[in-house]
């Protein structure tokens, strides 16, 4: 991997920016990579479209924005509609299974669906949706190690919710491993 570009998207309140922060911290502090995170920053607070972009590289990143995202995580319909066409053939598309209605089968992409909100609710609170999705993304993309991600959590999630966030991450991660196995068996 030389450079990898990831877009995290959804609606405000889902913890989209937090996803990019955690992944960026994991990569740059614990996986020995360089990462630059920029975010859509506007007066909109909650409920509207929200996106963060992360550039990952083995060397120092000069140009800080994504131009050819290889990975898109879309946790809302609006985010999916807006960004899926950016992905090149072979790109990774991760969508929230219950919130996103696909416009096509996307046979040119590596498509993964994760019921992140439902899993989070099973853990007691839909606030953990982002960590489920992150665990899933970690498993299917391998752009970052699960170990680094878990190390990155303290300080970026409230201490009293650290354990449950790790649990949410692992639930998503394990589901991601199953998804890869299923995809492998199917092809």
Partner 1 sequence: MDGDHALAEGALAAGCRFFAGYPITPSTETAERFAERAPEVGALFIQMEDELASIAALIGAAWAGQKCMTVTCGPGFSLMTENLGLAAMTETPLVIANVQRGGPSTGLPTLTAQQDMMQAKYGPHGDNAIIALCPDSPQECFDLTVEAFNLSEYYRVPVIILTDETVGHMHEKVVIPPADKIKVVPRNNYSGPKEDCRPYKFDSKGGHPMVRAGDGYNFHITGLVHNEMGYPVMTADQGKIVVTHLMEKINSNADDIIRLEEDQVEGADIVVVSYGITSRIAVKAIQDARKEGIKVGSLRLITIWPFCEKRINELSGKVKAFVVPEINYGQMVREVERCAHGRSEVISVNHCGGAVHDPEVILDAIRKANK
- 74-107 burial, b at 16+ Cβ within 10 Å, e below that, comes to bbbbbbbebbbeebeeebbbbbbeebbeeeeeee
Closest separation between CB of residue 121 and partner 1, Å?
A: 29
Rounded Cα distance, 128 and 119, in Å? 8
Q: Which of 34, 118, 145, 170 binds partner 1 (CB under 8 A)?
A: 34
Q: Counting Cβ atoms within 10 Å, is residue 168 exposed (0-12), middle (13-18) or buried (19+)?
A: buried
Closest separation between CB of residue 64 and partner 1, Å?
A: 6
Rounded Cα distance, 99 and 154, in Å? 29
Q: Could you tell me how many residues of this chain bind partner 1 (CB under 8 A)?
A: 19
Count CA within 13 A, CB hemisphere, residue 81.
8
Residue 22 vs 111, nearer CB to partner 1: 22
Q: Which stretch binds partner 1 (CB under 8 A): 62-70, 112-120, 121-129, 165-173?
A: 62-70
Residue 19 vs 140, nearer CB to partner 1: 19
Q: Which of 2, 45, 46, 63 binds partner 1 (CB under 8 A)?
A: 63
Q: Which of 16, 19, 21, 143 binds partner 1 (CB under 8 A)?
A: 21
Q: Which of 28, 76, 117, 129 binds partner 1 (CB under 8 A)?
A: 28
Residue 34 vs 161, nearer CB to partner 1: 34
Q: Which of 3, 39, 57, 145 binds partner 1 (CB under 8 A)?
A: 39
Q: Counting Cβ atoms within 10 Å, is residue 164 exposed (0-12), middle (13-18) or buried (19+)?
A: middle
């Amino acid at each position: 991997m030389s450079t990898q570009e990831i877009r995290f998207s959804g609606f405000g309140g889902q913890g989209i920016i937090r996803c990019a922060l955690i992944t960026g911290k994991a990569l740059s502090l614990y996986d020995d990579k360089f990462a630059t995170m920029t975010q859509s920053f506007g007066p909109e607070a909650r409920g509207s479209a929200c996106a963060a972009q992360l550039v990952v590289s083995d060397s120092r990143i000069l140009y800080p924005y994504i131009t050819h995202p290889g990975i898109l995580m879309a946790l809302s319909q609006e985010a999916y509609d807006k960004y899926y066409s950016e992905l090149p053939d072979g790109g990774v598309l991760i969508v929230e299974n219950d919130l996103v209605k696909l416009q096509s089968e996307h046979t040119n992409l590596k498509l993964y669906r994760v019921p992140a909100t439902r899993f989070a609710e099973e853990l007691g609170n839909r606030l953990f949706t982002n960590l489920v999705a992150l665990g899933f993304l970690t498993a299917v993309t391998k752009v970052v190690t699960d170990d680094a991600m878990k190390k990155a959590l303290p300080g970026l999630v409230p201490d009293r919710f650290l354990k449950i966030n790790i649990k949410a991450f692992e639930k998503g991660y394990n589901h991601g491993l199953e998804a890869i196995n299923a995809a492998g068996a199917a092809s």
